[in-house]
Structure 1
Amino acid sequence: MRSRVSSPTNHTFDYVVVGAGSAGCLLANRLSRDPSKRILLLEAGKNDNYPWIHIPVGYLYCIGNPRTDWLYKTEPDAGLNGRSLRYPRGKTLGGCSSINGMIYMRGQARDYANWAAQTGDDAWAWANVLPDFKAHEDHYRLDAGEDPPTGGNSRFSDMHGHGGEWRIEKQRLSWEILEAFAEAAVEAGIPRSIDFNSGDNEGVGYFEVNQKSGWRWNTSKAFLRPARNRTNLVIWTEAQAERLLIESGPQGRKRCVGVVVQRGGREVTVRVDGEVILSAGAIGSPQILQLCGIGPAGLLQRHGIPVELNLPGVGENLQDHLQIRAVFKVSGVKTLNTLANSLFGKAKIGLEYALRRSGPMSMSPSQLGAFARSDKGQPYANLEYHVQPLSLDAFGEPLHTVPAITASVCNLNPTSRGSVRVRSKRGSDAPAIAPNYLSTAEDRQIAADSIRQIRTIVSQPALAKYKPVEWKPGVEFQSDAELAKLAGDIANTIFHPVGTTKMGHDGDAMAVVDSHLRVRGIQGLRVVDAGIMPSITSGNTNAPTLMIAEKAARLIIREARARGHA
Structure 2
Amino acid sequence: MEDYDYIIVGAGSSGSVLAARLSEDGRARVLLLEAGPSDLHPWIQMPIGYGKVFYDKRFNWKYTTEPDPNRDGVQTYWPRGKVLGGSSSINAMVWARGHPSDYEEWGAVAPGWGWDEVAPLFRRIEDWEGGDDGVRGSGGPVHVHDVRDEVHPLTHRYVEAMAQAGFPQSPDYNGPDMEGAAFYQITTRGGMRASAARSYLRPALRRANLRVETGAHVTRVLFEGRRAVGVEYRRGGMRSARGREVILSGGAINSPQLLQLSGIGPGALLQRHGIAVVQENAQVGRNLADHLGADALYRVNVPTLNQQLGPVLGKVRAGLQYLLTRKGLLSLSLNQGGGFIRIMEGASRPDIQLYFSPVSYTRAPVGTRPLMNPDPFPGMLIGFNPCKPTSKGYLQIRSADPFAAPELHSNYLDTNYDRAVMLAGMRLMREIAATPAFSEVIEDEVYPGAEVKDDAQMAEFIRQKAWTVFHQCGTCRMGTDPAESVVDARLRVHGVQGLRVVDASVFPTIPTGNTNAPAIMVGERAADLIRAEAR
2:340–2:352 CA contact under 8 A, matched in 1: yes
Write the distance in 1 (CA, Å) between the matches of 2:94 and 2:220. 33
Shift of 1:513: 0.4
**1:479 maps to 2:487:** no
Write the distance in 2 (CA, Å) between the matches of 1:200 and 1:282. 29
Match of 1:153 in 2: none
**1:391 maps to 2:363:** no
Of residues 320, 334, 344, the one that matches 1:365 is: 334
**1:45 maps to 2:22:** no
Q: What is the number of residues matched between the two proteins?
A: 528
1:176–1:334 CA contact under 8 A, matched in 2: no
Match of 1:295 in 2: 265
> Residue type of the partner of 1:170?
D
Write the distance in 2 (CA, Å) between the matches of 1:342 and 1:222. 34
**1:548 maps to 2:522:** yes
Secondary structure of the residue aligned to 2:157 is helix
2:173–2:339 CA contact under 8 A, matched in 1: no
Match of 2:534 in 1: 560
**1:272 maps to 2:223:** no
Q: 1:468 to 1:180 in 2, by over 3 A?
A: farther
Match of 1:258 in 2: 230
Cα deviations by residue, 1:250-309 (Å, 9 ceiling, x for unpaired) = xxxx11111111112x22121112x10000000000000000110011211222222111
Secondary structure of the residue aligned to 2:84 is coil
**1:133 maps to 2:122:** yes
Write the distance in 2 (CA, Å) between the matches of 1:174 and 1:543. 22
More displaced, 393-402 or 26-35?
Answer: 393-402
Write the distance in 2 (CA, Å) between the matches of 1:288 and 1:199. 39
> Residue type of the partner of 2:233?
V
Match of 2:495 in 1: 521
**1:177 maps to 2:166:** no
Shift of 1:355: 2.5
Write the distance in 1 (CA, Å) between the matches of 2:527 and 2:169. 36
Secondary structure of the residue aligned to 1:462 is helix
2:43–2:53 CA contact under 8 A, matched in 1: yes
> Residue type of the partner of 1:174?
V
Shift of 1:360: 2.0
**1:413 maps to 2:388:** yes
Match of 1:452 in 2: 427
Of residues 199, 207, 214, the one that matches 1:230 is: 207
1:246–1:258 CA contact under 8 A, matched in 2: yes
Shift of 1:199: 5.5
Shift of 1:20: 0.5
Q: Return 5+ residue gaps in structure 2 as ranges.
A: none
1:18–1:279 CA contact under 8 A, matched in 2: yes
Secondary structure of the residue aligned to 2:493 is coil
**1:165 maps to 2:137:** no
1:458–1:468 CA contact under 8 A, matched in 2: no
Write the distance in 1 (CA, Å) between the matches of 2:463 and 2:167. 26
Write the distance in 2 (CA, Å) between the matches of 1:233 and 1:195. 37
Shift of 1:348: 2.5
**1:336 maps to 2:305:** yes
> Residue type of the partner of 1:161?
G
Secondary structure of the residue aligned to 2:349 is coil
Match of 1:105 in 2: 96
Of residues 326, 336, 355, the one that matches 2:324 is: 355
Match of 1:4 in 2: none
Write the distance in 2 (CA, Å) between the matches of 1:174 and 1:161. 24
Q: 1:50 to 1:385 in 2, by over 3 A?
A: same
Shift of 1:502: 0.3
Write the distance in 1 (CA, Å) between the matches of 2:312 and 2:207. 48
Secondary structure of the residue aligned to 1:33 is coil
Of residues 201, 218, 225, the one that matches 1:241 is: 218
Shift of 1:468: 4.4
Of residues 437, 440, 453, the one that matches 1:462 is: 437
Of residues 68, 74, 77, the one that matches 1:86 is: 77
Q: Return 5+ residue gaps in structure 1 as ranges.
A: 1-9, 143-155, 249-253, 562-566
Write the distance in 2 (CA, Å) between the matches of 1:208 and 1:11. 42
> Residue type of the partner of 1:471?
V
Write the distance in 2 (CA, Å) between the matches of 1:461 and 1:372. 20
Shift of 1:376: 3.8
Secondary structure of the residue aligned to 1:384 is strand
More displaced, 463-472 or 208-217?
Answer: 463-472
Write the distance in 1 (CA, Å) between the matches of 2:251 and 2:442. 44
> Residue type of the partner of 1:238?
G
Shift of 1:464: 2.5
Match of 1:219 in 2: 196
Aligned-pair identity (%): 42
Match of 1:95 in 2: 86
Of residues 62, 69, 72, the one that matches 1:71 is: 62
Secondary structure of the residue aligned to 1:523 is coil
Secondary structure of the residue aligned to 1:157 is coil
TM-score by length of 1: 0.91
Secondary structure of the residue aligned to 2:182 is strand
1:335–1:389 CA contact under 8 A, matched in 2: yes
> Residue type of the partner of 2:239?
V
Of residues 470, 490, 504, the one that matches 1:530 is: 504
Q: 1:107 to 1:560 in 2, by over 3 A?
A: same
Shift of 1:66: 1.1
1:311–1:510 CA contact under 8 A, matched in 2: no
Shift of 1:419: 0.7
1:80–1:491 CA contact under 8 A, matched in 2: no
Of residues 277, 290, 294, the one that matches 1:324 is: 294
Q: 1:426 to 1:199 in 2, by over 3 A?
A: farther
Write the distance in 2 (CA, Å) between the matches of 1:134 and 1:437. 34
Cα deviations by residue, 1:211-241 (Å, 9 ceiling, x for unpaired) = 0111111111111222122111111111111
Write the distance in 2 (CA, Å) between the matches of 1:468 and 1:441. 34
2:216–2:235 CA contact under 8 A, matched in 1: yes
Write the distance in 2 (CA, Å) between the matches of 1:519 and 1:340. 47
Shift of 1:393: 1.3
Match of 1:492 in 2: 467
Secondary structure of the residue aligned to 2:525 is helix
Secondary structure of the residue aligned to 1:194 is coil
Write the distance in 2 (CA, Å) between the matches of 1:200 and 1:533. 23
2:221–2:230 CA contact under 8 A, matched in 1: yes
Write the distance in 1 (CA, Å) between the matches of 2:440 and 2:454. 28
Shift of 1:81: 2.0
Secondary structure of the residue aligned to 1:168 is strand
1:20–1:41 CA contact under 8 A, matched in 2: yes
Write the distance in 2 (CA, Å) between the matches of 1:468 and 1:444. 29
More displaced, 523-532 or 176-185?
Answer: 176-185
Cα deviations by residue, 1:484-543 (Å, 9 ceiling, x for unpaired) = 22111111111110000000122x512000111110001110000000001100000000
Write the distance in 2 (CA, Å) between the matches of 1:15 and 1:459. 56
TM-score by length of 2: 0.96
Secondary structure of the residue aligned to 1:124 is coil
Write the distance in 1 (CA, Å) between the matches of 2:412 and 2:534. 41
1:300–1:306 CA contact under 8 A, matched in 2: yes
